[in-house]
Structure 1
Amino acid sequence: MIIPQTQSQRTTENVPDCETPRWDTNRRDREMGHERLYNDYSFDNPVYNSNQLRQRFRMQRPLFCRIINKVVEGDVYFQQRRNAVGKLGLSPMKKCTAAIKNVSLWLGMIGSIDCMHWEWKNCPMAWKAQYAGQNKKTTLILEAVADQDLWIWHAFFGIPGSCNNLNVLYRSPVFDDVLHGRASPINFTVNGHEYNMAYYLANDIYPKWATFIQGITHPQIQKDKLFADHQAAARKDVERAFGVLQARFSIL
């Protein structure tokens, strides 16, 4: 059963009272993180209701809690243990929640890829024609890959605004790790087909490569409409990331 950590679990053993241990200067507040997580998603008056939990983890609350309990019972990794200095590590709920969240994403998907034109206010006059985009403003292009947590996995910046997404892609290092064998191995199965390469969600301007999953422009059957809706919704992650960057930074 999922329970909050007790006060006795939070005590630190074998630590002298006369001095603060060196490792304590970089506390991660694991106990506080567990309490927030428990209050957010537990059965006891949670912060997020059942619909919000289902949107985040793609499952109902009873299944969510049952999975956590069964995983902790069957796998030592997800059980809470003490580290070398006797301090409690991550709670089972935190470990399981992180794993469930990853599984709830599109299998094999790294994130959504897109380009953003960033206005260059003080572009030198001699370069304005080269850096002018479709709206005639001088811009620099940022290519980025972002996930639903707005974590930016890839960024390629500085291409003139007169280019389009394909021009940027052909100069981008986004696939360098794959080409040089540095990419982490990825294996997953969908509808009985096995895949060994990750992919990005992209719009229709990108080429029909195995590493890009585009939407369906004119879906006719219900299955295609459902896929198109989910693909478009997930692809908005990179747009949100661009919005956050533009709100916080500007190019002089």
Structure 2
Amino acid sequence: MKRLWAKYRQSRDEDHEELCTTNALVVAAVAEAKASSGSRRLDSQPGSTLNEERFRESRGNNMMEDYFVERPVFSEEVFRTRYRMSHNVFNSISSDLCRYDQYFVHKSDAVKKVGLLPQQKLTCSLRMLAYGAGADQWAEYCRIAKSTSIEAMKRFTRGIVNLYSAEYLRAPTPADLRRLLAKAERIGFPRMIGSIDCMHWQWKNCPTGWAGEYSGRKRVSTIILEAVASYDTWIWHAFFGMPGSCNDLNVLAKSPLFDELTTGRALRSNFK
């Protein structure tokens, strides 16, 4: 098994890294958008507590020195570990989001106070997705208030879905199937397209009346995400929304994964 794993790691195609990372982000963004509890941001009102001074400008400069300058404090390997992607992928997503939504553009407010950098908003959103962190957990590093973190997450997921879903949430083409089958055969898994598995997303604000249906063996309310991924971590199928008490077979029975096959509309391909 160790030899197969080593052979598999050596055979990974580095050329597909950017596409695969964006594909995974689309699936995570869709799941996060559906699981969002719809928290409402409170506006400033007379008599409300004054905003805290978070020194966001100096923290933004420190973040740039940590990761985004010519000679950063932390290396590319550390960046990849903490952001789950390369600098090139991050910069590409940042540029696309800034063109899509002016919310991510660095600008000053009505009193000429400099706002948050795109890197601060994207870092907060990405790490919430990558690590399952709460909205206020990154306040120390990104210096973003909880309400702003939630707003950035909502706009981030909406932007990712609208920008990339047409390209990265699609069915495989005949060329894709030929490439996947050929690659799988070379690494020792002939006639296999990809691997299927389910993961549980915790539903913190699950209604009490639904807790039994959505609680599994860990006694925590969760919603299940089913996904099919190929050797290069490209996600070809995602199905989200089944209660956490279901097992993988129950999810597969409800999943639309084989709908095209059973109706005779699937592409002709031999696989297991």
TM-score range, shorter chain: 0.3 to 0.5
Scaled by the length of structure 1, what TM-score is found?
A: 0.36
Which structure dedicates a bigger proportion of its chain to strand?
1
Q: Which has the larger radius of gyration?
A: 1
Structure of higher RCO (CA pairs closer than 8 Å, 6+ residues apart): 2
Scaled by the length of structure 2, what TM-score is found?
A: 0.34
